[in-house]
Amino acid sequence: MANQEEARDAKAEDQALVELAVGGDKKAFRKLVERYQRKIYTIAYGIVRNPDTALDVTQDTFVKVHRNLATFKGDSSFYTWVYRIVLNLCIDRKRREARQAEVDYDDAIAHEDGFTSGPTLASTGIDSPAKAAHRKELVEHMDKALATLSEEHRSILLLREVEGLSYEELAETLNVPKGTVMSRLFHARKNFQKSLSRYLRQ
């Protein structure tokens, strides 16, 4: 309940700042940038996997937000609108670059297996990755495992696990039906689990 109330307050604050920024209030726009720049950078880096490109995309995102602020109607939340912008910019950027070999599964293929049919992350004995004994190597393995995912799978995993978007918000941001959200999320988690398990067992 408290979370829903916080979310409503945040949405109202965003809307107020947007209205001020549209009116030319530079401080209001600065507040919006400072509120979301880290989230946008995290998303951009999660997809493009390069810090300079991520910074570039982050700036591009806010330039685009500034230019199109007057068109934001408030029917969706501000952050899902901004997330859509950064995702599209990342996809455009990746399209211009050569694709690396990626492990992927067609989301339409049914997976009869659950998450415990093969090697599991729970069986590695690492309860908390943040406190793992060989932290540096673990971070490298997780990084490599994420890099093997397609942009679509990396995006949905990022928006869900880091930004905490609900299925409905994911559907709105990614412009797909809720059923596709669930299926894509399932496959993204499955692929990540398989990749990371492989690296951890090397």
Partner 1 sequence: MSTKQDITMKLMAYADGELSAADRAEVEQLLAQDPSLGAELAELHSISLFAQDGFEAPLANVKVDVFDGVMARIAAEDAAAQPSAWTRLTKWLGEVFRLEHPMALAGLAAAVIAIVVGALMSSGSSSSVNAPVQDMAQVQPGPRRGMEAEHKPGGRNTAFVETWEVAKGKVVVDVNKDDPDQPMVLWHVIDGEGTSTPKGL
Partner 2 sequence: MLKSLVVSTPRAVASLVLTLALLCGGPALAQGPDAKVRVTVIHATKDGTSVAPDLGDLAKYLVKSFAPYTAFKTLDRQQVTLAAGASSKLALPNGSELIYRNDGRANGFVALHLEVGGLKTTVNVKDGGTFFQAGRSYEGGMIVLAFAVDP
Half-sphere exposure of 173 (CA within 13 A, CB side): 28
- CB closer to partner 2, 15 vs 53: 53
Distance CA 53, CA 57 (A): 6
For the bound state, the minimum distance from the C-beta of residue 143 to partner 2, rounded and expressed in Å, comes to 7
Instruction: Quote the CA–CA distance of 189 and 50 in Å, as a whole number.
Output: 22
* Site membership for partner 1, residue 199 (CB under 8 A): no
Question: In 89-108, which positions are buried (b, 16+ CB within 10 angstroms) versus exposed (e)?
Answer: bbeebbeeeeeeeeeebebe
| Residue ranges binding partner 2 (CB under 8 A) | 50-52, 55-56, 59, 136, 139-140, 143
Our CB check for partner 1 shows the closer of 101 and 130 to be 130
Which CB sits closer to partner 2, 54 or 69? 54
What gap in Å lies between CA 126 and CA 51, rounded to an integer?
Answer: 28
Interface characters, 105-124, with partner 1 (x: CB under 8 A) = -----xxx-xxx---xxx--
Task: Output 92 or 140, the one with its CB closest to partner 2.
Answer: 140
Q: Which does 30 bind (CB under 5 to 8 A by kind): partner 1, partner 2, none?
A: partner 1
Q: What is the spatial distance between Cα 185 and Cα 94, in angstroms, rounded to a whole number?
A: 21
In whole angstroms, what separates CA 64 from the centre of its chain?
19
Count of other CB atoms within 10 angstroms of residue 54: 22
Q: Could you tell which of partner 1, partner 2, none binds residue 100, using a CB distance below 5 to 8 A set by kind? A: none
Hey, what are 87's tokens?
A: 């995702």
Query: Residue numbers of the site for partner 1 (CB under 8 A)?
Result: 26, 30, 33-34, 37-38, 41-42, 45-46, 51, 55, 58-59, 62-63, 66-67, 110-112, 114-116, 120-122, 126, 128-130, 139, 142-143, 145-146, 157-158, 160-162, 166-167, 182-183, 185-186, 189, 192-193, 196
